Structure 1
Amino acid sequence: MGANTSSKPPVFDENEDVNFDHFEILRAIGKGSFGKVCIVQKNDTKKMYAMKYMNKQKCVERNEVRNVFKELQIMQGLEHPFLVNLWYSFQDEEDMFMVVDLLLGGDLRYHLQQNVRFQEDTVKLFICELAMALDYLQSQRIIHRDMKPDNILLDEHGHVHITDFNIAAMLPRESQITTMAGTKPYMAPEMFSSRREAGYSFAVDWWSLGVTAYELLRGRKSILQSRYKSLMQTHFPKRPYHIRSSTSSKEIAHMFETAIVPYPSAWSPEMVSLLRKLLEPNPDQRFSHLSDLQNFPYMSDVNWDAVLQKRLIPGFIPNKGRLNCDPTFELEEMILESKPLHKKKKRLAKKEKEMRKCDSSQMCLLQEHLESVQKEFIIFNREKVKRDFNKRQANLAFEQTKDPQEENSQNNNL
């Protein structure tokens, strides 16, 4: 694969834009509707990352280009210990690429499916870490809108990181959002309200945090529980409300008004009290700030500086002896994928020839859209941003430490 197969790693100019040739593709680890994720290694630094690549043509056909651009714009302005941070974005004729933190601990949905039982202390730390991430997003005027176990990744030490800003929204000051977006079982009551035109704000993410924490404490149903499925759903569902993606908005709104959330007696009263505060239907009374948690008696023993610095050891550590994801992704990429990443260069050369022969109006229109994506795509390099920032800081520090007498003599000479 050109640069990737060379025995000696190439030397790249630090001012050169990062591109596909700067990485070695190691293995596939996930996929979405029009994008896939693989583990990569940067050739010069040998650092490992996750690389998400999205097919431009599929994005155009599904009208998803604006969402991708919005996600890129949001992620470029964010950096936090409990987020999956963006490092590079670039493109070629076929795909758009996002290179982000590599987290090998798997997502929380995967671990629930593996029948992991999360202890209360573990969930309590998860809540603290996620609350710090939500507080940071709030300071940046960002609503995530899709907080759920699927979008929370663990690092190798068991700390949580929020990912997938595909439907996140930037909230203008002194305003609220009215558009419906999210995954129904995790969406807050105000998003289904008959007065939805009144809008919603940051509190919706804290509701989703409450639903996620409840689900983690409940764990996946055992075989014994599944035999008495209807009974378990009535008394102890895996989430606080029995909502499916197919449940209508009207049914969901009625459920929030009438259903009572059950809390198992095995849970501590303090944890139940906290969950009630996060699952408060009225957004004005719901816990929706980090200070709400910090002032809550159940959290009085938490060292928040230690949380932020990841000095507290989680009660669940992912298995380091295996990749914590579905192994079929690798198989699909190798066997079933019609456009595998490792054959990209040959494919692009062939595609360029075909595009020159563009003879149908439909193909030409598609080509126009693809060219528009090419022009508007946002290239990003966090490494370069940090380097430039450090240079500016060094220059500023140098200016401030200049000898005043020397400056005076220079001024006198002038």
Structure 2
Amino acid sequence: MRTSRNMGVNNSHRTPVFDENEDVNFDHFQILRAIGKGSFGKVCIVQKRDTKKMYAMKYMNKQKCIERDEVRNVFRELQIMQRLEHPFLVNLWYSFQDEEDMFMVVDLLLGGDLRYHLQQNVHFNEEAVKLYICELALALNYLQSYHIIHRDIKPDNILLDEHAPELFQAFLEGGPGYSYPVDWWSLGITSYELLRGWRPYDIHSNTSLKEILLMISTEKVHCSSTWSKGLVALLKKLLVKEPECRLSSLKDIQNAPYLVDVNWDAVLEKNLPPAFVPNKGRLNCDPTFELEEMILESKPLHKKKKRLAKNKSKDSGKDSSSLYGHLQQCLETVHNDFTIFNREKLRKSRAESGQTSNKESETCNQALEKTEDGHNNNVLETFYTTVPS
């Protein structure tokens, strides 16, 4: 099976040269293959034409975002990710747009997500999960320092790179009614599922809220007799029902007897050998995403240039009906409010001047204000970046 495919893009061996003052755009990337999708966005593997670096690129159709009232969430996702950078987060490198889509280019992780590996009947032993707990704890501590609650810690959102350290996507601060302990509860649930293959509570999409509350308040979490006493004690403290009594900080985790022997600096530097390494000889994601892009997609990415050129000629003859006029107005608002981002340029600017430029500082400050206001509790869409290794 091929692990990459040139989706109609001109394949030249000559490395292109781009103006360093030019904003990064769609033309700067070669599209290799589709690897995932969400409710209104898709993900593909791309290669930056000048540096040859590989990334995952998420692209979201503007019209669909407007129709589903998701533009605000996308913008908040961008604002937050522009502010963050950590070894155990999926970091944003570039954001840009065209007439159809908004694009986010992020770290490419070659090991697949943990949900995929669970579905492949991978058994995660205690040593593997212990490292994951440590890595996640460091990432949650970093998010907490920025007043951000993830709110969606689960195997689907925990991604592996080709060497198997854990990485996952960062996402929103919480609203009234709960705080950081919610993420540490989710860490306990996720760790349990990795070890046992199923969750500690039998909850499904059709389980009512009343049933869930009764289940959590009355049922005990049953741990395997094969697990060490230290691990069981840690999980039980993460799964304490009362948030104020739960382990809910990096310090709490580090003081747990089960983890007192951990070299946390080595964890952060990714110097500890993982107990589970994804198979590099197989595709660590669902191959149907590529088939859907080839066969079912009405607006395939590799035909974008021709399509946009054709649309421009059509637009000149369109009527100015109220429906079309309203949509056009919304699209123009999205275009004007979208924030372009280039971490590569930001790093270079910082290295040269020792500080961010006025524009970069303003962008970061706006993002921080947005994440600290505590008034928006919308959950961002899951971002999938499972790729072949």
Which TM-score band (shorter chain)?
Answer: 0.7 to 0.9
Q: What residue in structure 2 maps to residue 182 of structure 1?
A: none
State which structure, 1 or 2, has the greater radius of gyration over its C-alpha atoms: 1
CA distance in 1, matches of 2:121, 2:25: 40
Relative to the length of structure 2, the TM-score reads: 0.87
2:252 maps to a residue whose letter is D
Point out which structure has higher relative CO (alpha carbons under 8 A, 6+ apart): 2
The SS at the match of 1:332 is helix
The SS at the match of 1:142 is coil
Retained in 1: the 8 A contact 2:46–2:56?
yes
Residue deviations 1:3-38 (CA, integer Å, cap 9, x gap)? 854442221122210000001111111111111111
The SS at the match of 1:301 is coil
The SS at the match of 1:39 is strand
User: Which of 289, 299, 302 is equivalent to 1:342?
Assistant: 302
Q: What residue in structure 2 maps to residue 33 of structure 1?
A: 39
State the Cα distance separating 1:354 from its structure 2 match: 2.6
Is the aligned partner of 1:93 residue 2:99?
yes
Relative to the length of structure 1, the TM-score reads: 0.82
Taking only the aligned residue pairs, the percentage that are identical comes to: 70
Retained in 2: the 8 A contact 1:3–1:9?
no
1:74 maps to a residue whose letter is I
1:352 maps to a residue whose letter is K
CA distance in 2, matches of 1:326, 1:86: 23
2:77 maps to a residue whose letter is E
Q: What residue in structure 2 maps to residue 64 of structure 1?
A: 70
User: Which of 204, 219, 226 is equivalent to 2:182?
Assistant: 204
The SS at the match of 1:372 is helix
1:65 maps to a residue whose letter is V
Residue deviations 1:344-373 (CA, integer Å, cap 9, x gap)? 001111222233333232122111111111
State the Cα distance separating 1:314 from its structure 2 match: 0.8
User: Which of 137, 143, 146 is equivalent to 1:140?
Assistant: 146
CA distance in 2, matches of 1:377, 1:318: 37
The SS at the match of 2:232 is helix
Residues 41-190 of structure 1 aligned to structure 2 (within 5 Å): 41-163=47-169, 165=171, 168-169=172-173, 177-178=175-176
Q: What residue in structure 2 maps to residue 392 of structure 1?
A: 353
CA distance in 2, matches of 1:349, 1:108: 41
Q: What residue in structure 2 maps to residue 213 of structure 1?
A: 191
The SS at the match of 1:284 is helix
CA distance in 2, matches of 1:391, 1:354: 46
Is the aligned partner of 1:279 residue 2:257?
no
The SS at the match of 1:127 is helix
CA distance in 2, matches of 1:257, 1:161: 32
Q: What residue in structure 1 maps to residue 282 of structure 2?
A: 322
Change (3 A) 1:27 1:2: closer
Change (3 A) 1:394 1:99: closer
State the Cα distance separating 1:149 from its structure 2 match: 0.4
CA distance in 2, matches of 1:327, 1:394: 44
Q: What stretches of structure 1 move > 6 A for 4+ residues in a row?
A: none
- Count of aligned residue pairs for this structure pair: 349
Structure 1: gaps (5+ residues): 172-176, 179-198, 220-237, 396-414
State the Cα distance separating 1:2 from its structure 2 match: 10
Retained in 1: the 8 A contact 2:92–2:343?
yes
Q: What residue in structure 1 maps to residue 268 of structure 2?
A: 308
Q: What residue in structure 2 maps to residue 264 of structure 1?
A: 224
Is the aligned partner of 1:251 residue 2:211?
yes
CA distance in 2, matches of 1:322, 1:213: 25
